[in-house]
Amino acid sequence: MDLGSGAGSGIDDVVTQLLLARGVARDDLERHRNPTLRDFLPDPSLFRDMDSAAERLAQAVIAGERMTIYGDYDVDGATSAALLIRLLRMIGVGADYYIPDRLLEGYGPSGEALVRLADQGSTLIVTVDCGAMAFEALQMAHDAGVDVIVVDHHKCAPELPKAAALVNPNRLDEGDEAASHGHLAAVGVAFLLAIALVRTLRNQSYFKDREEPDLLSLLDLVALGTVADVAQLHGLNRAFVAQGLKVMGKRANTGMSALIDASRLKRAPACSDLGFALGPRINAGGRVGESTLGVRLLTTEDAEEARQIAEQLSSLNEERRAIEAAVQEAAEEQIAQQHNRSVVVLSGEGWHPGVIGIVAGRIKEKTGKPSLVVALDEQTGEGKGSGRSISGVDLGAAIIAAREVGLLVAGGGHAMAAGLTVEADKLDLFADWLDDRLATAVGKAQMSQALKLDLAVTTRGLSPDLVETLELAGPYGIGWPGPKVAVGPVRLIKADIVGTDHLRLIVSGEDGGSLKAIAFRAANTDWGQALLHGAKGRKLWLAGRAKIDDWGARPAAELHLEDAAWAD
C-alpha cells in the first residue's frame, strides 16, 4: 500500500495533517508530499548577476582558462567547491581549488591568496560560501587583473565588493522572488549556477559533439552541504535534500561512499546522518586538521585514496570531540556570570578556534539564548568568535551592524550563525552593545517557544510502522520540524545514564506495552536529575521524536526525548 498518496486512508491522513501543520496549503499538498526539483526549482536567471557569472564561466571553459575554486573550510564550502570541480570535469575542463587554513588565514578570501593564485596563472577565481563581505581582498584581486565570481549566501551590506559577478540571494538589491530563496546554503546557490552554466554552454553549441553533464548526480553534495549548514529545510532546500538522499544512496561518488563507510552506516544515509555523522567528519578537517581534506575526498575517483582520507577525517573527528569537550567545560563555568544577559558571550585564552562554533551551539541549547564563544589570542590581542542563534533572532545582521559601528574588526554570517573578529579590549563593550540590541528580539522569541505536538499515542501505538509513516512527510530539519509525539501516561521503570551524559528511560504503559526513551545530553539538567532521582514508579507524559532502534534482532520504536511532565 502506498502510504504517501491516496486521500482515503487513515494512515495517509497522518501525513496530510503533518504537511498542513507545517504551513502547506491544502491545494498544494501533492507538491510537498514528494518534493521534486521540477516543482520547486526557480529559473536561475532570477538572481542578480547569475547570467553574468554563467557567461564568464562559459567563456573560461571555452577558452581553456585556468580556474580556481576558492572555498570555505566548512561542509558547505567543501561541498560547494566539490560540486563546481566535478561539474567542470564532466564538462571536460579542470579547475584548481584553494581552501584557506582556519587558524592561519581565517574565514573568507584573503587578498594575498587571491593575488598569489593570479600570479600562478588563474585568470578566473570562483569563491564559494565566502566573499560577500570581502571588500579589500576582492579589490586587490581586481587590481591584480584577475576576475572573481562570488557565490555566497551570507548577509550582504548595501555596498557590494568589486567582483565580476556576485550571486547571493541575500543581496539587499535582490527581487522578491529571488530573495525568497535566501534560506539556501551556498551549495544550493552553486547548483543553480551549475544549471545556468550548462544552459549557457548549450546555447553556444558547446555540447554539439559532447555529452551534457548529469546535474542530478551532484545532488548528494547539495544535500550534505544544505543539512550540515543547518539551512532551513522548506521549499527548494527540502527538494534538494529529498532527491539528494536518493542520489547518495546509489554511492556513485567515490569519496561520499567512503565517507558513509567511515561513518559505520550499514544502510542508506538518512537526513539526520548528514548532520550528525557525515558532516562532522568533513568539518573536522577544517577545524583541527588539514582544510583541504573535505574537497579532496569529495572529488577523488580513487577508491583507496578516498578510504584513507575518510579514515583520517574520522580520526580527526575524534580529536575534535576531545578538544571540544575541554573548551565546553571551560565555557560552561562562565555561564552563571551571564544569567542577566539576553545574549551569552563567553571567552577564554587558549580555546581552539576550530571548535568554538560547536560549543556555541551547545551553550545555546543549554541556555535557550543566542550564544557566542570567543577564543582569545594573547599574542595578537584579538579574539575569534563564533555564534549560534535561536529562531526569531537574526544574529548575522547584528554582527554586521556591530562591525559597521566599529566594535568588531570583522564579522558576518546569517540569521542562525555568525563569525567575528574582535579586539580583546573591546569585547565587554561589544557584549553590552549586542545585549542591548537583541534583548527585545530574544524576549519575544523565548515567549513564543513551546513544544508543539503533532500527535499523542500509547506505548503500543508507537510502532515501527508509525515511525515510517511519519517520515513520509520528511525530510525534516530547521524550518521543517520533525513530528513531535506525546506518549503516555506511562510509568517509569528505570532511569540511568548512558555514555557521558545521556539519559535513558524504560517506561511501561497502561496498554501493557513498554518503551525506551533517550534524552541526549540531559543527565545534568534539572529535569534529567528529577527523572533520575525520585521518579521511579511515577506516572509521566513523555514527548519527543519517534525513531527506529535497529540495533536489536527486530526493529523497535523508541522516543528521543525532548520534554517530560508528571501525569499524577
Split at pLDDT 50, 70, 90, the class of 265 is very high
Which class for 406: exposed (0-12), middle (13-18), buried (19 or more C-beta within 10 A)? Answer: exposed
pLDDT tens for residues 515-535?
999 999 888 888 888 889 877
Beta bridge partners of 494: 506
Whether 7 shows a pLDDT value over 90: the answer reads no
CB atoms under 10 Å from CB of 515, counted, come to 23
And the C-alpha cell for 479?
A: 524550518
Tell me what pLDDT residue 108 has.
Answer: 86
Question: What is the pLDDT averaged over residues 540-560?
Answer: 88
And the C-alpha cell for 530?
A: 528529577
pLDDT tens for residues 282-315?
999 988 889 999 999 999 999 999 999 999 999 9
**Whole-number average pLDDT of the chain:** 93
What percentage of the chain exceeds 70 in pLDDT?
Answer: 98
pTM confidence score: 0.89
Whether 417 shows a pLDDT value over 70: the answer reads yes
Tell me what pLDDT residue 451 has.
Answer: 79
pLDDT tens for residues 446-493?
887 777 899 999 999 999 999 999 999 999 998 899 999 999 999 999
Question: What is the pLDDT averaged over residues 110-129?
Answer: 97
Whether 9 shows a pLDDT value over 80: the answer reads no
Which class for 6: exposed (0-12), middle (13-18), buried (19 or more C-beta within 10 A)? Answer: exposed
H or E stretch at 115: helix 111-119
Q: Report the range of poorest mean pLDDT among 4-13, 187-196, 376-385, 499-508.
A: 4-13
Region label for 324, one of left (φ > 0), alpha (ψ between -120 and 50) or beta (otherwise) = alpha
Tell me what pLDDT residue 12 has.
Answer: 57
Whether 104 shows a pLDDT value over 50: the answer reads yes
pLDDT tens for residues 47-65?
999 999 999 999 999 999 9
CB 505 within 8 A of CB 495: yes
Whether 3 shows a pLDDT value over 60: the answer reads no
Tell me what pLDDT residue 524 has.
Answer: 83
Full set of structural domains in the chain with CATH = 44-315 (3.90.1640.30), 333-447 (3.10.310.30), 455-566 (2.40.50.140)
